[in-house]
Amino acid sequence: MLILTDTADSTVSYTTTVQVNAGVATYGFTDVLPGTYILSLDNSFEKIKLDDVLVTVSDSDTSKDISVIRNVFDITGTITSADDKTDLSDITIILLDSEGNELAQTEAEVTGESASYSFSDLREGSYTVRIDSDKVEAEDTAVNITDTDVTANIAVSLAYLIGDVNNDGIVDVLDAILIQKFAAEKAALNEK
Sequence ranges of the domains in the chain: 2-70, 73-158, 160-192
- Answer yes or no: are the C-beta atoms of 81 and 159 closer than 8 Å: no
Instruction: Provide the pLDDT confidence category of residue 77 given band limits of 50, 70 and 90.
Output: very high
For residue 67, what pLDDT is reported? 56
146-169 mean pLDDT: 83
Q: Higher pLDDT residue, 68 or 147?
A: 147
Strand boundaries in the chain, DSSP class E: 2-6, 13-16, 19-21, 24-26, 35-41, 48-49, 53-57, 70-71, 73-81, 92-96, 102-107, 109-111, 114-122, 125-132, 136-137, 141-145, 150-151, 154-158
For residue 14, what pLDDT is reported? 79
What CATH class has 73-158? mainly beta
For residue 137, what pLDDT is reported? 85
For residue 5, what pLDDT is reported? 85
**Is residue 192's pLDDT more than 60?**
no
CA dihedral (106, 108, 109, 115) positive or negative: positive
